[in-house]
Amino acid sequence: MPLKTQDKIEKEILNTEEFFERVQKDKKLFINILDVFAKDFRHKREKLGLALKRKDFSGIASLTHSLKGACANIAAKKLKNTCVLIEDAAVKNDFSLIKKELAQLDSSFKELLKYIAKLKIQLK
């Protein structure tokens, strides 16, 4: 079953067409990479929380840079864009902006997980 056409909002969450092309339309690989991404994201987000408590701006910048790359790889544009903002705020030592954008990051990640769950059903 091919992937359904996405609207603009869905493409911001996860551009499935772009990512599906990257995995050469391999459904199993598509889902596997998304699962690995989610696990890795949770791990890095936990480390990000610890870095935030220590006000380790260098660590925050490094972790969000890594997350930004992972988000770009799977075409999760909304998450990637938030990572860019957090990384920039960390470079500027802007603690309040980091906290604000981390809340957005968490919200966008939940949104992505819901969308991935829908995709898994669609691809069965």
Alpha carbon 24 to its chain's center: 21
Q: CATH says 8-122 is which class?
A: mainly alpha
Amino acid at 68: K
18-24 contact pairs (CB < 8 A, 24+): 18/75, 19/74, 19/75, 22/73, 22/75
| Residue located via tokens 């056409």 | 5
Cα dihedral 22→27→31→33 (10° resolution): -30
**What pTM was computed for the model?**
0.92
pLDDT tens per residue across span 14-47: 999 999 999 999 999 999 999 999 999 999 999 9
pLDDT tens per residue across span 62-119: 999 999 999 999 999 999 999 999 999 999 999 999 999 999 999 999 999 999 999 9
